Structure 1
Amino acid sequence: MKKVKIIIAWMLVSVILQCAGLFFLDKFYFKDNTDVEMEQVSIEKVEEKPEVHVSIPEDAKDVKVSYDGRYVTYKDGYDMNMYDTTTGESKTFDDVEDRQILKLTWLADRDKLLTLERDGYQIALYNYDPEKGTNEKMVDICQYSSQYKTFDIKVSTITGVTYVRVDNMVYRVDINQSQAVSVPIVVRNLGSLALMPTKDRLVYMAKNGQIVHVTQPKERIAIPAGGDPKILGVDSEGVAYIGEGNGVTVSKIIKKDLDDPNIKSSTIKLTEPVKSNEIFIGENGEIFVNYESKHLVKELKSGQETKYEGKFISIYNKGVATLVDNKYYKTKFGK
């Protein structure tokens, strides 16, 4: 019995010592670690830089805007002028005095520009970076001739492939190639052309043709369109958008799945005819239509309308670019 009392006494002593130890740790040892002062930190909202309303000459040709609307370009003869609308600064090319700019195209997802230029006896493709102010030659395309009148550049930043049109000829440029490769075209009079954004496939039609031709592999897809249909664009799902009209304006848009031609095409009728260069196809199948008479851009997929002032230039990733009294303005979608 005495031994039991001794054991119980030592157990009580042990419990008392443990409690005393925990009390000490809580009140003194851990005090600096547990008493934390909370301070409210104010995070400022990042605002977009307001654009400078740069002046564009009334007789400026081929006015275009970059992906996010930051840069605006226009041609003066064979020369190109560019402005950074966040600063109002004029941007210039490096060593471009002896070359003629035949065609320029902004990339669809970044502020970079491809230019097709006459470089001596050659036509060459250049890559211009306005942020760095560099203009690097990518590759020679073909020999220059004063007989050439039609030039175009189609590029996919996803596949890294660019197609260049010179009159009735088309050349393919791969980022891994050191020279342009001629692409066989199976029509005599080349009309409109486009690229599949996610596949290395060129899409084109003959003038006044009703057949869509696709490369790699070669395919011929009939389109139920009259007049002089034009390819307006191809979205990331491989759906082509064909404008049907009278050769001057488009009154209907035909949607055709190029990946599965057996799927029946569908038709969208516009509320009024517009020029083909006033219709813009987005990567996700958006259809932006500029109704110039109403000063209105409508996205047909969502029904969203954007009113604007002045003269329409183009759309950018967040809205509409215009000229108001020859000054550059941007209006966000839905305003």
Structure 2
Amino acid sequence: MKASKRIFVWIIISLILQCSVYLFLDKFYYAEEGNIKINKDTTTDDQQKKVTPNVVFGNNVKNISLSDDLNYTAYLSNGHVIVVDTNTGKVRGNLNYSSGIQCLSYKWVPSTDRIMIVEKISPSQIRFYSYDAENQVKSEVDDTLNKRINSVPAGQTANMQISDLTGLLYIKVGYNSIRDNIYRIDRNETLTRSVTGRNIGAIALASDDDQLAYEDLGSGTIRTNYKLKTYIAISGVSRPSIIGTDSNDNFYIGNGREQSSVVYYGKLTENTSAWKKIQLGSMVNNDSIVVKENGNVYIVDREKSTVTDVKSNKSYNYQGNFCEINDEYIVYTNGGKLMIKQMK
């Protein structure tokens, strides 16, 4: 019994000592560590996009556009596309333009620092390139259509649309006043011809699917490559126009060829009778209506230097020449300098 009592006493003492040690560690040794506040990462998208533009443009500059993260600025000058660092204004690499080469069009690939370029290299030939602004690498796009590199006949104009999620790229090449071809470049940068038509107007591409819509100016209709809906027909609209698309695969269609007072939107998988509509309040030039990936619709008034959010009816002022809306930023120039203003 005495041995059992001694064992019991030692167990009690051991427990008391352990509790005392734990109490000491909790109250004193780990006190400062226990009081440390764990904060969430405060590096938001807005903070990441806070850049200080330091880009000055010369004469004859057009088509100014920024990458999604605002880090790089591209523009056309004397028929060549130039890419610069937005913060420093320094040119990013040499895009290797020899005499006679003309850039017909370029477009930033969403959520990347890469642009796609259409170059007219001779009176009879164009080529397609991609350029990585971060790594300063320019590469050609493979032409499987003719089993050799970039043997597409030269056109006079080019217009590109890129899918945000699939990486698909469609390029409308205009050859004359009535003949146009639409080419398709997939994520692997493989080129094929998609549409051969006459008098094609604006084109639009869904974000999450290989769905293309384009204006057939001859018939006044909007055609698609979607098997279940080869036309976009909206009741009461005789001369529809393509305004844009959003990240939910909605197509936005205006109710007039040059100007619209109503914009209808919905998916090609839906009946257009179920599409929603946005009242603009008055007739607005179609090229002044901007649809962003998040579904926000803006009206740009270049004379009054305002951008109006149609849904909230809130207007934002800027001073200078409008370039584009990048996410929720107005990009414009003032006195030849690049300016960026957040809409908030």
Question: Which of the five TM-score ranges fits, normalised by the shorter chain?
Answer: 0.7 to 0.9
The 1:184–1:61 alpha-carbon spacing in structure 2 relative to 1, beyond 3 Å, is closer
The corresponding residue for 2:146 is none
Secondary structure of the 2:303 match is: helix
> What is the Cα-based RMSD across aligned positions, in Å?
3.1
* Selected match of 2:325 from 303, 315, 319: 315
Whole-angstrom CA distance in 1 between matches of 2:343 and 2:77: 30
Cα pair distance change 1:29/1:190, threshold 3 Å: closer
Q: Which amino acid aligns with 2:30?
A: V
The secondary structure found in structure 1 opposite 2:15 is: helix
Q: Is the 8 A contact 1:55 1:327 kept in 2?
A: yes
One of 277, 282, 289 as aligned partner of 2:287: 277
Q: Which residue of 1 aligns with 2:244?
A: 233
Question: Gapped runs of 5+ residues in structure 2?
Answer: 144-149, 175-179
The Cα shift of 1:69 comes to 2.8
- C-alpha separation in 2, matches of 1:288 and 1:130: 29
CA positional deviation for 1:225: 6.3
Q: Which region of structure 1 is more displaced relative to structure 2, 286-295 or 273-282?
A: 273-282
Contact 1:126 1:139 in 2 (8 A): no
8 Å contact 2:241–2:257 — kept in the other structure?
Answer: no
Name the amino acid aligned to 1:71. Answer: Y
Give the Cα separation in 1 of the matches to 2:305 and 2:5.
89
Q: Give the deviation of 1:29 after TM superposition.
A: 9.6
Per-residue CA deviation, residues 26-46 of structure 1 (Å, 9 max, x unaligned), is 556996797225165898966
Kindly state the Cα deviation for residue 182 of structure 1 after the two structures are TM-superposed: 1.7
Q: Which residue identity does 2:172 align to in structure 1?
A: R
Q: CA deviation at 1:144?
A: 3.3
- In structure 1, runs of 5+ residues without a counterpart are 1-6
Q: Which residue does 2:147 correspond to in 1?
A: none
Residue number in structure 2 paired with 1:197: 207
CA distance in 2, matches of 1:86, 1:18: 69
Aligned to 1:123: 126
Q: 1:144 aligns with which of 124, 147, 153?
A: 153
Matched, 1:90 2:101: no
Structure exhibiting the larger radius of gyration computed from Cα positions? 1
How many Å apart are 1:208 and its aligned residue?
6.1
Q: Deviations over 1:215-239 (max 9, x none)?
A: 1426222134657542111223332
- SS of 1:315's equivalent in the other structure is strand
- Which of 135, 157, 162 does residue 155 from structure 1 map onto? 162
Q: Percent identity?
A: 23
Number of corresponding residues: 322
Residues 118, 144 of structure 1: 8 Å contact kept: no
Shift of 1:157: 4.1
Q: Does the 8 A contact of 2:166 with 2:187 survive in 1? A: no
- 8 Å CA contact 1:243–1:250 kept in 2: the answer is yes
2:136 equivalent to 1:133:
yes
Relative distance call for 1:232 and 1:209 in structure 2 (3 A) is: farther
Quick one: distance in 1 between partners of 2:266 and 2:22? 74
Note the C-alpha offset of 1:243.
2.6
Task: Note closer, same or farther for the CA distance 1:139–1:250 as it changes in structure 2 (3 Å cut).
Answer: farther
Query: Higher relative contact order by CA 8 Å / sep ≥ 6: 1 or 2?
Result: 1
Q: CA deviation at 1:263?
A: 3.2
**Alpha carbons 1:115, 1:127 under 8 Å: kept:** yes
Task: Tell me if the contact between 2:141 and 2:189 (Cα under 8 Å) persists in the aligned partners.
Answer: no
**Partner residue of 1:165?**
172
